[in-house]
Structure 1
Amino acid sequence: MILSMSGVVLLGIVVFLFFRKDGLKGTHACTCALFGFYLSSTAIAPSIKAGGASLASLLGGIRF
């Protein structure tokens, strides 16, 4: 719950900054779509959340 809530807050801030500073471009629209999936409770939302968790795990496991 903490990870998904912080993800929603982070994506919300990013969407707000994209909208205010740069206009809304294609990549920004993808971020907005992810934000929408995290906020919604559709049947595909758990898959999107699992993908986000897997990506976070993958990025967290990279050693420099």
Structure 2
Amino acid sequence: MFLSMSAIVLLGAAIFALWRFGRLSPWHAVLCTLFGFFLASSSVAPYIGATVRAAARLLAGIHP
């Protein structure tokens, strides 16, 4: 749960920064959000979650 909240905050900050400084239009931000929403409810979501957790463990230096 902590990892997913951290990822949400980090990705939200990245989208905000792109919107504010990178000329990301609000429509592009909405499309990114909808894509993430529908991707999370797809059959690929568990594999993406496992990959993100493995990458976070690798970056943190935690071995399973």
Counterparts in 2 of 1:11-50, with a 5 A limit?
A: 11-24=11-24, 32=32, 36=36, 40-50=40-50
Give the TM-score of the pair, scaled to structure 1. 0.61
- 5+ residue gaps, structure 2, are 25-31
> Which protein shows a greater Rg?
2
**Total equivalences in the alignment:** 53
Higher relative contact order (Cα pairs below 8 Å, separated by 6+ residues): 1
Moved over 3 A (4+): none
Alpha-carbon shift at residue 3 of structure 1 (Å): 1.6
Partners in 1 of 2:57 and 2:9 — Cα distance? 19
